[in-house]
Homo-oligomer: A and B are copies of this chain.
Amino acid sequence: MKTYGVIMAGGGGTRFWPLSRKSRPKQFLNLSGKDTMVMDTANRLSSIVDKDDIMVVTSMAHRDMTIQLTKGTLKADHILGEPAARNTAACIGYAAMEIVRKYEDGIMVIVPSDHFVKNEVEYTSVMKDAVTLAEQTNALVTVGIKPVFPCTGYGYIKNTDMKYDIDVIHTPRKVVEFVEKPDLETAEGYLESGEYAWNSGMFVWKASTILQYFERLLPDIYEYLVKIGDAMGKSNEADVINELYPQIPKISIDYGIMERADNVLMLEGDFGWNDVGSFDALEQVYGTDEWGNVRMADACTIDTKDCILYGACSDKLIATLGVKNLVIAQTDDVVLVCDKSKAQEVKQFIDAMDGTPYSKFL
């Protein structure tokens, strides 16, 4: 069965402001120093899925930009635009319907567009096993991340050993339950037990299989998907999507299906994954200098420790003296100076400035 990549690129990404803007969310930033996150993701995925079969689902507002950014790598008609953000269930259902109606069926390898992976060889190995597993078992397969510290910022997947007679390198595991972001004590218990993995939001399954789950567990959404599917390839396709898509109930695939499905398997990935959820994650992505500073900027630092310096502009300098534990991000028109412990609260600026004369900086 043919394999399709589905890159979910619909996020608004407010936690990297001022690098990310309304007009250019995080997945369209070059945070790796190599390429935009969406292109890094496409390139990484291309070791598992033919580039011609990789789709991107993004906001309609960012569709043209996505086509430009992925030009020469991905097919323009594989860049799907959502007229409104309706969370991951709608996004995945839309892509599944596209595959079933236009290409009969296929294995979907669904990945977020804005995560970082250090070890791409291991990533490829795990994802290939996930494809094999999904094809041979009809299961919903997810890739959990082997936790390396008691993180309170991720959801966890409780899982258990299981014998599967399938020729894969990584042992398939049975998912027991999905659990919410824990407090520190709980997270420490999870880490110690060895029974929990981080929920990375990466999924592999047959398009036809997930649509069966939609029909059974999310019938409201399924009804919309079928109507949209019926219009696919017809002259009124865009009109139908524009009318119906914004009406689809907002629910995540985790809440809507994964937590309630019966046949969910997990492969454990240990490939230096990071969801790059806020500025402080850049320490894991880039590493630090001898003073603990991340230096992704032209910077002159004196008596400066454990800071994250990021310049998204050319020919500008960050100069620091006698400071520590700061995030400093400089763009052409904004400089952010934030205590590192508050890095996850940067989205507060969006609320603070929306509707003010400063909203032009959002």
Residues of A within 8 A of B (CB): 18, 298, 300, 302-303, 315-323, 326, 328, 330, 333-339, 341-342, 345-346, 348-349, 352-353, 358, 361
Asked if B358 contacts A345 (CB within 8 A), the reply is no
Asked if A349 contacts B302 (CB within 8 A), the reply is yes
Q: A328-B337, A333-B316 given as contacts; is B302 within 8 A of A321 (CB)? A: no
* CB contact between A322 and one of B316, B338, B352 (< 8 Å): that residue: B338
* CB contact between A318 and one of B316, B318, B337 (< 8 Å): that residue: B337
Q: A317-B361, A358-B317 given as contacts; is B342 within 8 A of A322 (CB)? A: yes
A17 to B, closest residue via Cβ: B319
* CB contact between A334 and one of B316, B328, B337, B341 (< 8 Å): that residue: B316
Give chain B nearest CB distance to A317 CB in angstroms.
Answer: 5
Asked if A358 contacts B321 (CB within 8 A), the reply is no
Asked if A302 contacts B337 (CB within 8 A), the reply is no
Give chain B nearest CB distance to A68 CB in angstroms.
Answer: 27
* CB contact between A358 and one of B298, B346, B361 (< 8 Å): that residue: B298
Known: A300-B352, A322-B341. 10 other contacts (CB 8 A): A300-B349, A316-B335, A317-B333, A317-B358, A318-B335, A320-B338, A321-B336, A321-B345, A322-B339, A323-B337
Which residues of the other chain, B, contact A302 by a CB distance below 8 angstroms? 345, 348-349, 352
Which residues of the other chain, B, contact A339 by a CB distance below 8 angstroms? 321-323
What separation, in Å, do the CA atoms of A318 and B331 have in the docked complex?
A: 11
Which residues of the other chain, B, contact A321 by a CB distance below 8 angstroms? 336-339, 342, 345-346, 348-349
